[in-house]
């Protein structure tokens, strides 16, 4: 069996940290490992900055590239020696020379195409993966590094994201592994190729996604995401001092938590592993004694952790800087197509709808959008419904600014009557005015819209209500 591990930029941010990562991998030789690494921290930003400088015809891109070279040269000297050092440095210099030529071309053209950009920015991962694999080999472990552009094939989506092509990637992996069998593979996060073999990326912070896709391709036993926090908290610990680390979350719960702004995982990261029921563990590399948070299928949670299962509500998350838009009028009831007209207009201005609520009386539809998009949304609706507004079929398109969303997330809410009563009771006791409510049919979350200034107070009130009741 294989296990997949992912180490983010801070985990490989210095030579000492790269050594720590190597130690973790070397110490446990119980199974085969595929290790996905990010670029050293800040390096991806530095690479994007090179592109920006060159595009804006700022000569300083040359000096900035030297800083990148220097950083990796220094790290390599700290970590490697002999042939390993020589071979890494020779590859590094070759890459830097190629980058210099490409950046020069971008400088002359005053523009970087997307594939040029993706080619350039992915180098941080190429270098960190090579260095880590050489450190591990130095310790006598059978280890190879993988340029994931040779394996991982993705297609762009209309929303500027990418979808993995699993069957092409599986073929690529089988071919790669037949040529490079090894017990430990260090793979570059973030980068991939298109089906036409053009370098691309999984977009910013894409390495977790890389690890999840690799987990699926390898049918791994589990995927461990190493980071710098102990796991997923029941609420943002900067806002709620009593927040606790959750031992387990179901895939859906993790999904909802991250959608509603908890710093867990990007929702897309869960999809590849969920297909095969592969658990994801979030662990702190700076605190190895903490067990972390396990994200998995609910049936596994039931077996392993009865206590956590008792929590009807697992966590709370918030999104700030929202505005509520309320479209109201008697002319909306029973008129098919109203919702489609409303959200069509919203889509046309490119706004992102965070939540929607419509009462069954159908006299009003309200929804939340980011504050910075609300002006355009309101204008689009005014003009789309001009006639209906003039005729009085719609009474208003109203905007309520300065809102926040508070979401309570928990799989168990579905089968537990009274959870929402408890939630609203806690909010009422704290004198929080609720402006809108939504609950998905899946019942994994209840979402309320409140005034932004009430957000922290509300979060503390509901958190202590649910987490105190657990211990009593």
Which residues of this protein are in contact with ligand ASP, per CB under 6 A?
8-9, 38-39, 44, 124, 189-190, 204-207
Bridging pattern class, strands 184-188 and 32-37: parallel
In this structure, the number of other CB atoms found within 10 A of the CB of residue 196 comes to 8
Q: 418-442 burial, b for 16+ CB within 10 Å, e for fewer?
A: ebbebbbebbeebebebbbbbbeee
Strands (E), 107-240: 143-146, 154-156, 162-164, 184-188, 191-193, 199-201, 223-227
- Taking the CB of residue 361, how many other CB atoms lie within 10 A of it? 9
Q: How far apart are CA 36 and CA 57, in angstroms?
A: 35
CA distance 408 to 260: 9
Token code pair at residue 280: 């994801």
Opening angle at CA 91, ends 7 and 141, nearest 5: 50
Whether the Cβ atoms of residue 4 and residue 222 lie closer than 8 Å to each other: yes
| 169, 153 contact by CB (below 8 A) | yes
Q: Which residues pair with 163 in a beta bridge?
A: 155
Q: Token pair of 270, please?
A: 């869960």
The Cα–Cα gap between 390 and 396 comes to 10
Gyration radius from the chain CA atoms: 25
């Amino acid at each position: 069996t294989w296990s997949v591990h992912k180490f983010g930029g801070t985990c490989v941010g210095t030579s000492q940290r790269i050594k720590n990562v190597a130690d973790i991998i070397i110490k446990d030789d119980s199974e085969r490992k595929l290790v996905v690494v990010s670029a050293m921290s800040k390096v991806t930003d530095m690479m994007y900055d090179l592109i920006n400088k060159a595009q804006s015809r700022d000569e300083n891109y040359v000096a900035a590239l030297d800083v990148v070279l220097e950083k990796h040269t220094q790290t390599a000297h700290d970590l490697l020696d002999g042939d390993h050092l020589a071979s890494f440095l020779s590859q590094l210099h070759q890459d830097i020379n190629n980058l210099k030529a490409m950046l020069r071309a971008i400088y002359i053209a005053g523009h970087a195409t997307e594939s040029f950009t993706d080619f350039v920015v992915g180098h941080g991962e190429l270098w960190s993966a090579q260095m880590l694999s050489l450190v591990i080999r130095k310790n006598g472990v059978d280890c190879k590094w993988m340029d994931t552009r040779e394996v991982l094939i993705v297609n762009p989506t209309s929303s500027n994201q990418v979808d993995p092509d699993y069957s092409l990637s599986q073929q690529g992996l089988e071919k790669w592994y037949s040529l490079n069998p090894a017990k430990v593979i260090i793979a570059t996060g973030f980068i991939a190729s298109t089906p036409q073999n053009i370098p691309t990326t999984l977009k910013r912070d894409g390495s977790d996604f890389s690890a999840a896709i690799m987990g699926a391709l390898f049918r791994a036993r589990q995927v461990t995401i190493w980071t710098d926090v102990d796991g997923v908290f029941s609420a943002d610990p900067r806002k709620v001092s009593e927040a606790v680390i959750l031992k387990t979350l179901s895939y859906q719960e993790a999904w909802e938590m991250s959608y509603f702004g908890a710093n867990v995982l990007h929702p897309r990261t869960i999809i590849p592993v969920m297909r095969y029921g592969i658990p994801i563990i979030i662990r702190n590399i700076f605190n190895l004694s903490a067990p972390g948070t396990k994200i998995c299928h609910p049936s596994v949670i039931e077996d392993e952790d009865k206590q956590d299962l008792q929590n009807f509500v697992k966590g709370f998350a918030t999104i700030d800087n929202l505005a509520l838009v309320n479209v109201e009028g008697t002319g909306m009831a029973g008129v098919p197509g109203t919702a489609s007209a409303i959200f069509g207009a919203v889509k046309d201005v490119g706004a992102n709808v965070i939540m929607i609520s419509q009462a069954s009386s159908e006299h009003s539809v309200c929804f939340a959008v980011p504050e910075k998009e609300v002006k355009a949304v309101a204008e689009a609706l005014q003009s789309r419904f001009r006639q209906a507004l003039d005729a009085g079929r719609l009474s208003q398109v109203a905007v309520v600014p300065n809102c926040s969303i508070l979401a309570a997330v928990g799989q168990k809410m579905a089968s537990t009557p009274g959870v929402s009563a408890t939630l609203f009771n806690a909010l009422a006791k704290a004198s929080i005015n609720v402006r809108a409510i939504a609950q998905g049919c899946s019942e994994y979350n209840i979402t309320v819209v409140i005034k932004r200034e009430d957000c922290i107070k509300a979060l503390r009130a509901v958190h202590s209500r649910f987490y105190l009741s657990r211990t009593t």
